[in-house]
Amino acid sequence: MAVREIITPKNPILRKKARKVTNFDDPKLQALIDDMVETLFDAPGVGLAAPQVAVSQRVIVVYLPDDEESREEYGQDAGVLHILVNPEIVRASRDMVDGVEACLSIPGYYGSVDRHAAVTVQGYDRHGRQVRIKARDWLARVFQHEIDHLDGILFIDRASEIWRAVPQDEAETFDDPLAGEVTVIESEAEAGE
Ligand SMILES: [Zn+2]
C-alpha cells in the first residue's frame, strides 16, 4: 500500500468522465483501492475518488471518522469504510439541504452546496458483488460529492458561494489550486475547518 499524490484542477484528469471498471480480478484495481484507502486516511479526508489520484476509473472510498464527536454527529455512519466501484445514485430525495463542503483536490477552499438530503447508491464492492446503500445527511452528501468526481464535476461547479480559507501557517507557501478561476466571496487568513 502507498499514499498517492492527490491532484488539483491543474491536472485535466480531474475534469474527465471516468471509465467503468470491468475487470474486478485486475491486481491493479485492488492495489488502487488499497492505495486510495491509505491516501484518504493519510490526508485525512472523508471521501476520495480515483480521478483525484489521477486514475480515470469509477472507484470511490468514503469514511466518516469514529471519534466521539463524529459518532455524535454521524451516528452509525461513523467509522464505516465504504469502497464502491461503478457507483450510481439510483434514488434521490426531493428535499435538498445546504452544507459547507471542501475537497482534497482544492485545498484552501470551501463552498456552500445544495445536495439531496438522502440518496440510495448502488454499485459493486471490490470483488464485484453488488451493494446498495441508503444514505442520509452527511454520508449522503459525501457520496454525491464523490460520485460527481467520476463525471469530472467539482463542488465549486455546484456551490452557491465559494470562499478561501488558507491556514495562517500555510499562507506563504500556499499554491492556489484554482488561481483565480472562481469568484471568491471572501478571503480569510484562518482555516474554517
Ligand atoms: Zn472532492
Question: 99-155 pLDDT, tens per residue?
Answer: 999 999 999 999 999 999 999 999 999 999 999 999 999 999 999 999 999 999 999
69 carries an active-site annotation: no
Q: Which residues of 108-127 are buried (b: 16+ CB within 10 A; e: fewer)?
A: bbbbbbebbbbbbbebbebe
CA 45 to centroid of ligand 1, rounded, Å: 9
Domain segments of the chain: what residues? 12-188
Provide the CATH topology of domain 12-188: Peptide Deformylase (3.90.45)
Task: Kindly state the percentage of the chain with pLDDT values over 70.
Answer: 95
Q: Tens of pLDDT along 64-94? A: 999 999 999 999 999 999 999 999 999 999 9
Task: Kindly state the percentage of the chain with pLDDT values over 90.
Answer: 84
pLDDT at 187 over 60: no
CA 159 to centroid of ligand 1, rounded, Å: 13
Which of 146, 161, 186, 190 is an active site residue? 146
